[in-house]
Amino acid sequence: MLGRGLTAAAVAVVLDQTSKIALLQHFGETGCAPHREAVAPFLELVLTCNSGVSFGLFNRTGINGLIFALAAAAICIVLMVWLSRVRSTFLAVSIGLIIGGAIGNVLDRLRFGAVIDFLYFHIATWYWPAFNLADSAICIGVVAMLVDGLFLRRHSSPAEPGEDLSL
């Protein structure tokens, strides 16, 4: 399952970084100068740099981006250990998406000192903070892990005495 999880991680990183490169080229930028372009009545492409975490959380706290990068690296190490023990393809891909999303955002922090966000959804006065494909991969991975833990595990065979159920 390690290979499937790592493949999911690699796909998430490639899609995330490719989308950000395309966005920077589209706006003619090499860094984080703000831009905004309407795509649909509910969607804008924006170029914004987020020094916080997903969806702008902790963006204005003054916490150094290096701290977030180190925290993400530590989480990735823990997830890699877990991934190496997983027996479920679904769970392996879920963990891989989280790892890939974290790596995509860490690469931004190393290159730009912040994470590039570019998808901005809104309807009337309601809006969702700008985000990127790495954030999406992390969220999809977390939701899939919850689905696995809450619904899919109940239908698996009963545990053998002494079996580690966390795998």
Q: Which two tokens stand for residue 119?
A: 């998808």
The whole-angstrom separation of Cα 83 and Cα 100 is: 13
Helix (H) or strand (E) holding 118: strand 115-123
Which has the closest alpha carbon to 51: 43, 63, 59? 59
Out of 16, 108, 135, 148, which one is annotated catalytic?
135
Out of 16, 108, 117, 148, which one is annotated catalytic?
117
Produce one character per residue of 154-165: b if its CB has 16 or more CB atoms within 10 Å, e if not: eeeeeeeeeeee
The alpha-carbon radius of gyration of the chain (Å, integer) is: 18
Whether 117 sits among the annotated catalytic residues: the reply is yes
The whole-angstrom separation of Cα 149 and Cα 38 is: 39
Whether 16 sits among the annotated catalytic residues: the reply is no
Residues with a catalytic annotation lie at 117, 135
